[in-house]
Amino acid sequence: MVSEIVFRTIGLTKVYHMGQVRVHALRGIDLELHAGELVVLLGASGSGKSTLVNILGGLDTATDGKVFYREKDLTQATDRELTAYRRNHVGFVFQFYNLIPSLTAQENVAIVTEIAQDPMTPEQALEIVGLGNRKDHFPAQLSGGEQQRVAIARAIAKQPGVLLCDEPTGALDSKTGVIVLEALDRVNRELGTTTIIITHNAVQAKMAERIIYLSDGKVTEIRQNEQKTSPRELNW
Amino acid sequence: MFRDLWAMRGQGLAIVFVILSGVSAYVSMTSVMDTLERTLDTYYTEYRFADGFASVRRAPEQLKERLRMVPGVTRIETRVMAGVNLEIADFDEPVSGLIVSVPEGHQPGLNRLFIRKGRFLQAGREGEVLLNEPFAQAHDLNPGDQLTAVINGRRKVLRIVGIALSPEFLIQIEPGSIFPDPKRYGVMWMGRAGLEAAYDMEGAFNDLAFTLSPGADNNEDVLELIDDLLKPYGGRGAYWRADQPSHFIITEEFRQLKGTATVLPLVFLAVAAFLLNIVVSRLISLQREQIAVLKAFGYSNTDVGLHYAKLVLFIALIGTAVGIGLGVWMGQALGKLYLEYYRFPYLEYTLRFSVVFMAIVLTAGTSLIGVIQAVRSAVRLPPAEAMRPAPPAVYRATLVERLGLRQFFDQPTRMILRNLERRPAKAMLTILGMSSSCAILIMGLFFSDSFDYVVQVQFGLTQRENLTVKFTEPTSTAALYEINSLPGVVYAEPFRNVPVRLRYGHRSYQTGIEGIPPDAYLRRLINTDLEPVPVPPHGIVITERLAQILDVRPGDEMTVEVREGTRYTRSVPVVGITRQFIGIGAYMDIEAANRLAGVGRAISGVLVMVDNPYEKMLMNTLSERPRVAGIASQERVIEAFYESTAKTMLVYTFILSLFAGVIAFGVVYNSARISLSEQDRELASLRVLGFTQGEVAYILLGELAFLTFLSIPLGFALGSAAGAGVVRSLQTDMYQLPFVLGGRTLSLAAVIVLGASVVSGLIIYRKLNKLDLIAVLKTRE
């Protein structure tokens, strides 16, 4: 499959200084991620998968090596440029949803579409995740799964170039988790958004086109998943 | 515990600052007042300030023995007092003075002198004088310098041998003026023999001071007996210490200071205590999880409460201790400042234990109440539930949005509005805190507006002369025409001053009745609506304050005892009340005043409107006339007014502004800091979603700005109410302050509150830039 390269990393390294101790979170990652693909980053906690996604998403900076988003070198970007990059190109979904409790579902999406360049309407985004009828509810009135779906709607409403999901089902039971994964899968299929999902759950990896295994800050294996499974058939 | 302290050092510091401000303002202001009163008291006792005084035209020294026999009198000191004109090198304006005799070669028995510089007078050395310190300082005169006095028409060179202070002339004030002017009026002391010779008073005296036995205080019989003895020699009436000008003014000023020094610091301390309570309880609410952990480990509610009580008490006591230290230091510094103004030879710094106790009890008490409230709500939840993060807070659309205005707000603005509406108590407390500091500022600053207003009314509407010329004694009206013909005089108007004691029922007041012409142009009476009213041909018009003191109303008949000449006692109806902010007085038609005094057409002085360039020349010309006792320039009076009032008030104003600023800062900073820790997750999420620092700051600081803008008008309202209350407690016989609030005060108060908000906003903005985006995403609370 030959398609456009969205992310390219060359020798990506990240070292944290925690007091006297130096922690190597990433030890030279070389990767290419393609437009429209759904990738799962699989690894135990501490394997560096969150660090990698944070750097890809412009939340963190690399200690060494290069990261390119399309033609743009993120390692050279200023804080202001990274903010603009996140604002215009990246959609985030977090383990703990991170919704604004004082805003309704619709407003939580609108807060992003108000500042985006070419957004869909909040209603459209909520429709895609199946929450069109709950748009006027506040987070406190929604279940965990619903909150996470609002978060997905918020992430995709700006029509981002990439969708980065860090343990999106981590705080959910498996049944609700499946519904959330279905929503992500649907976004990937219908909108063609490049999607990267972090998980430590090997079962979930079955829904990916490619699975990247991370261990101890290194890519240990990249596997093309020939039999992509629908999230509905996953069980853990 | 110390780790906890370190973790909350920012907020702890803000608490310390609030306490520090409250406590030090309270301690310094209260202790200064105590110090001044105690110092005055000891000074009076140690330097034997007399209980009563009397002056007479000229009485033989032998009379002293008979005066001593008056029952109740323990000690009598006769002396000679001479009003003189002075010539001082390098000062070309007229200066008048008072020379008081002291026994040859030794201290007087009463009203002893404290020698600040130089030495005491030596017996038999003619022409040696001691100068009262304020006068000496005003002209930079020192022992060894000379000055010339015109005594009884003869010029005499005086040598200054020392600079002295006396309890009798703490405030040296020219008879008839309201405010001291040390450049143009000075008191000095001279050996009795020399002064007797120069003033034609050999073997005689014209003034006396006396003390009373303990039981005889304020026994009117004593005054009457003394008056009877002095009457044949031209007695001018004996009076108590309470009516002695220096003491009278100092008492009034102290009363006024005390008004400010008791009310304001307490308000201050109360506000600080209130803030402390808010900050403490909110601080602990943020520790919910930690409290749950402690409980999970098996600590009881009491243990948890004690832990936080210790923590908060530690902070509070540091603040109180440093505040007391700072307060003592400021109190001493303030005391020294007042020392220069009041001319005490020493200062007895006094810090009452009850003041310290009050400060500790109030700060510790309010912080503990805050702790109890907060801990109680924190321990209400079972530990397991408390350890879980709080569920998403329940919000709803705000009232303004439900009214259909929703479309006008973007999401960040909706967040601000909903945050405010969800926690109305928190928003109210923040507003209340900020408006209290705004109110404190107004209370400290409004005085200058009131003073300006007083000057505007008094000197713009009622006293419109440039110069007041007073004669040594009532003079024929020819003097008016003489002055009218002098160069530079635009208009001249006579007045007649009759010294009296006014009585109504059991109340009485000693003052002067001023007789003015019916068509008076320079000295006008105004009614309470500030409209000029003519003086009626019969009866007496009195000032509002005097009506209050005597409890009389128009229509009542007052008893007037004339205290000069033939000393008639007459009954006179009150026919009107006039508004007058400075001084207390009574007015009559000039003809009626003369009839009352029992003399023909006499005038006590002339009010002059003068062409500005001629003023100085005219003053010099007039001061050389032997019949002229004194000349007062309107301009100087206004200057002196500002100087004397400014000195008493300015220092408090400064302290108040400083601390109100600190308190405003403390409230705003704490409020914003707490909002930041409550909302940091949301704000970090927004940063992750691509919001810029400015956009995120808007949500946090917009709330702050909104509260600040709401708090200012409320502060104005609170400040006006409190200021009006303070003014009521400040009325003195010297001046009656109206409550006037000017634009300058309001804008200054607003600017200081805004400034404090901006500074704390900037600090919070910097903290906002350091938000750890990744950490916030990983953890739940």
Range with lowest mean pLDDT among A65-69, B192-196, B259-263, B358-362: B259-263
Examine the fold and report which residue of B193, B220, B246 is the final residue of a domain before the chain moves on.
Answer: B246
CB contact under 8 A, B392 and A99: yes
**Count, residues in chain B:** 781
Q: Which residues of B touch A86 (CB under 8 A)?
A: 688-690
Q: How many domains does chain B have?
A: 2
Question: B583 or B711, which is more confident?
Answer: B711
Q: What is the mean pLDDT of chain B?
A: 84
Q: Which residues of A touch B692 (CB under 8 A)?
A: 80, 83, 87
Q: Which two tokens stand for residue B661?
A: 């600023």
Report yes or no: B777 at the A interface, CB cutoff 8 Å. yes
Distances (CA, A) of A67 to A3, A57, B44, B267, B690: 18, 10, 87, 62, 19
Q: What is the 3-state secondary structure (H, E, C) of B683-729?
A: HHHHHHCCCCHHHHHHHHHHHHHHHHHHHHHHHHHHHHHHHHHHHHH
Tell me the residue ranges of DSSP E strands in B255-382.
none
Report yes or no: B555 at the A interface, CB cutoff 8 Å. no
Q: Which residues of A touch B392 (CB under 8 A)?
A: 99, 101, 138-140, 147
pLDDT in tens, chain A (236 residues): 457 888 999 999 998 887 778 888 889 899 999 988 999 998 888 888 888 998 998 888 888 999 999 888 988 888 888 888 988 899 888 888 888 888 889 988 988 888 888 888 999 889 888 888 888 898 888 888 899 889 989 988 888 889 999 888 887 888 888 888 888 888 888 888 899 999 888 888 888 889 999 888 898 988 888 888 888 887 77
Predicted local distance difference test score (pLDDT) of residue A179: 85
Shortest distance between the Cα of B777 and any Cα of chain A, in A, equals: 7
Q: What is the 3-state secondary structure (H, E, C) of chain A?
A: CCCCEEEEEEEEEEEEEECCEEEEEEEEEEEEEECCCEEEEECCCCCCHHHHHHHHCCCCCCCEEEEEECCEEHHHCCHHHHHHHHHHHEEEECCCCCCCCCCCHHHHHHHHHCCCCCCCCHHHHHHHCCCHHHCCCCHHHCCHHHHHHHHHHHHHCCCCCEEEEECCCCCCCHHHHHHHHHHHHHHHHHHCCEEEEEECCCCHHHHCCEEEEEECCEEEEEEECCCCCCHHHCCC
Distance of CA A16 to the CA centre of its chain: 22
Q: Which two tokens stand for residue B404?
A: 């259909």
Select from A60, A83, A166 the Cβ nearest to the Cβ of B692: A83
Closest CA to B375 of B305, B314, B311: B305
Q: Residue B398: pLDDT above 70?
A: no
Which 122-141 residues of chain A touch chain B by CB within 8 A? 138-140
CB contact under 8 A, B689 and A112: yes
**Contact at 8 Å (CB) between B289 and B390?**
no
Which tens digits make up the pLDDT trace of B615-653?
888 888 887 787 887 788 888 888 877 876 766 666 667
Examine the fold and report which residue of B562, B586, B610 is the final residue of a domain before the chain moves on.
Answer: B610
Select from A57, A112, A140 the Cβ nearest to the Cβ of B391: A140
| Residue-range domains of chain A with CATH | 36-63+79-233 (3.40.50.300)
Residue A43 CA to residue A40 CA, distance in Å, equals 10
Q: Which two tokens stand for residue B637?
A: 């009076």
- Provide the 3-class DSSP secondary structure of residue B97: strand
- Is residue B177 situated within a structural domain? yes
Residue B170 CA to residue B161 CA, distance in Å, equals 20
Shortest distance between the Cα of B747 and any Cα of chain A, in A, equals: 35
Distance of CA B483 to the CA centre of its chain: 39
Predicted local distance difference test score (pLDDT) of residue B59: 93
Report yes or no: B242 at the A interface, CB cutoff 8 Å. no
Predicted local distance difference test score (pLDDT) of residue B651: 63
Q: Which residue has the tokens 């003026």?
A: B177
Cα-Cα end-to-end distance for chain B: 21
Q: Which residues of A touch B420 (CB under 8 A)?
A: none
Quote the longest CA-to-CA distance of chain A.
Answer: 53
Confidence class for position B140, pLDDT limits 50, 70, 90: very high
Question: What are the beta bridge partners of residue A39?
Answer: A196, A210
Predicted local distance difference test score (pLDDT) of residue B635: 84
Which tens digits make up the pLDDT trace of B94-116?
788 999 999 998 999 999 999 99
Question: What are the beta bridge partners of residue B151?
Answer: B154
Closest CA to B158 of B135, B182, B134: B135
**Contact at 8 Å (CB) between A197 and A41?**
yes
Q: Report the chain B residue with the minimal C-alpha distance to residue A84.
A: B690
CB contact under 8 A, B392 and A101: yes
CB contact under 8 A, A84 and B777: no
Which tens digits make up the pLDDT trace of A21-30?
888 888 989 9
Q: Which residues of A touch B769 (CB under 8 A)?
A: none
Shortest distance between the Cα of A219 and any Cα of chain B, in A, equals: 22
Q: Which two tokens stand for residue B680?
A: 């940091």
- Is residue B97 situated within a structural domain? yes
Examine the fold and report which residue of B200, B228, B246 is the final residue of a domain before the chain moves on.
Answer: B246
Q: Residue B8: pLDDT above 60?
A: yes
Residue B328 CA to residue A80 CA, distance in Å, equals 51
Q: Are strands A194-199 and A162-166 parallel, antiparallel or unpaired?
A: parallel
Confidence class for position B781, pLDDT limits 50, 70, 90: very low
Predicted local distance difference test score (pLDDT) of residue B121: 92
Which 381-410 residues of chain B touch chain A by CB within 8 A? 391-397, 410
- Is residue B503 situated within a structural domain? yes
Q: Residue B208: pLDDT above 50?
A: yes
- Is residue B554 situated within a structural domain? yes
CB contact under 8 A, B422 and A102: yes
**Contact at 8 Å (CB) between B455 and B641?**
yes
- Is residue B720 situated within a structural domain? no
Distance of CA B107 to the CA centre of its chain: 34
Residue B94 domain boundaries: 52-246
- Is residue B757 situated within a structural domain? no
Highest mean pLDDT among A106-110, B215-219, B379-383: A106-110
- Is residue B657 situated within a structural domain? no
Q: What's the pTM value of the predicted model, to 2 decimals?
A: 0.70
- Is residue B208 situated within a structural domain? yes
Q: Report the chain A residue with the minimal C-alpha distance to residue B423.
A: A102
Those residues with Cβ within 8 angstroms of residue B32's Cβ, 6 or more apart along the chain or in another chain: B261, B331, B334, B335, B338
Residue B316 CA to residue B331 CA, distance in Å, equals 21
Predicted local distance difference test score (pLDDT) of residue B4: 67
Torsion angle (degrees, nearest 10) of CA B131, B134, B135, B140: 90
3-state helix, strand, coil in chain B (%, to 5): 55, 20, 25
DSSP sequence for B552-601: --TT-EEEEEE-STT--EEEEEEEEEE--SBS--EEEEHHHHHHHHT-SS
CB contact under 8 A, B689 and A92: yes
